[in-house]
Structure 1
């Protein structure tokens, strides 16, 4: 009986460093999904294979910027093969040693598959490196069809003429200027408004399903500050608004994919723009005076004891959790949401994150989506909205125990300076 799905008879091996031209270049501009889609279409058109048995990508996955590929790797079923350098010391030959290690591992894996999985008859080598010519010839000797794949952009490592000649088929993936070309530096964009107008106009506001480079993501932030005045507050970037705009433009990536822990650090360090940071304790002139009739620690304990009992986190972790939640666009169950936020805020104690999430759940900051998904309610569009909701709930708790307190007194009790 024929297999209705098709035999898994294709093996794909991707030399990532060759595609982005070395770790001294911008590593985040390789159109990985496009490459795999075109490989599938090419194999289908040649009628030489059916489905992929294995797809492996070789790189130093711990290198800054490589996290931009994590989602594409998962979505396309790619097995990331991490390559360690033989020598951790920085030197002129450091990249060379790491490159040799990647090439050797790729060759060993390809020959292992050829021997151990004889039903795999199509081998796809995604690289332009001429060092793979002996591998191609050995695979052909073993009766395999070898397809070479390279990028049209010359900065992507180039393609060896000999490699192009010896493979059975060669596929060149066209790469436009929008993928690997550098974006004008942000500093120049800020300094010269005239020079930035063409660059800003060239950046589309239409959502894109591809993965942008770091430079392109930064340029998008700069453009959005010019085209959306509401993205600025008191001359600084409003994280809640900017986060929403970025999600609409690049729905498949966030600042964390570029190794930044928070949106604020990305805006300030990568984009060189000021980030609006509300100071809850000093948000209004009435917040600083200490209450004369209420002892703050006593009030806090009394409010926590009102059913349903809660525990208030510190203001710093609560603010960070709220900032993270305003950037959360996928409804998740509570446990998954806790794991997601905890993964993003590795510098915040897990206990404080749990307290913050439980508090926000208790005060009605979340709305249910579907069966068990949670997302911030429409009333919580910013960190300030979330803090205000917490303070309003605290005042309600105070009224249930006949305590007459102002919002400033509640604020001083829950979030002392």
Structure 2
């Protein structure tokens, strides 16, 4: 065990009261079928999910069943119509399994209980009594007020959906219109590519680890968290010889910051701390984008630098260490100052208020 690089990671057992979650998501959020991906990503940042079980009468969730099977979830079928009422059968089975895991699998350190039902509060108390950490997961509109305070941490599915990364931006076709010419000629080559996708994956994962507040985020820990989200991840497929080279590339773009870690070759990774002048420049960009996007369609990157200069003559992104206005805009997006998406029709980036 001492040689296991994941020895400090939490081992998580994910147990889902699926009826409660699916109905809550459908009626409260209009989401159907239930999408497990935001939950899986949130837990992957927190540790290794070593067991995934969902409890329901699966005859009522045909499409969900296929999606969960693809997500490697073990489906525990509890038929509800066997000649009599079995209303709480799934809840009882889930509680029994949780206690059994707690006693028989000492390596499981954390239970993620997906439900909004206050009937599971005694189970949460028992698991914590057994020195297990408990993460609750539920839909805000269908979660009892008694349940979240009983947990060590509670994740509202609504917020996980909001925080979920947008889908990969489409690569423009060869015949896509060229961007409008402006003072920043570099936008002519501003097309989304794999570099954008991998950058979003790294920053999203780093943000999740940083929110845990349990010490510095080492490159090795960041890489393990990324692999838990996407076991097929390989930086070589994105054109980098190693994960360190990828991080140095993001550092050069001012997306992340690297500092000496506790071991050679394993630097600490963080987000850059903005200088006051740089913060002011990002605020200026956000103000201009907010003013220019009142129509709701966003502001094209082409010509945006001119609009910024109208507000502040002499503005230059190079003053703040960015090689191009596009890099400055991408850094603003990484810091949550603006939103930025590729417009395939116009062949240009569009920015909107965050």
Q: TM-score, normalised by structure 2?
A: 0.41
Higher helix share: 1
Higher strand share: 2
Larger radius of gyration between Structure 1 and Structure 2: 1
Q: TM-score, normalised by structure 1?
A: 0.35
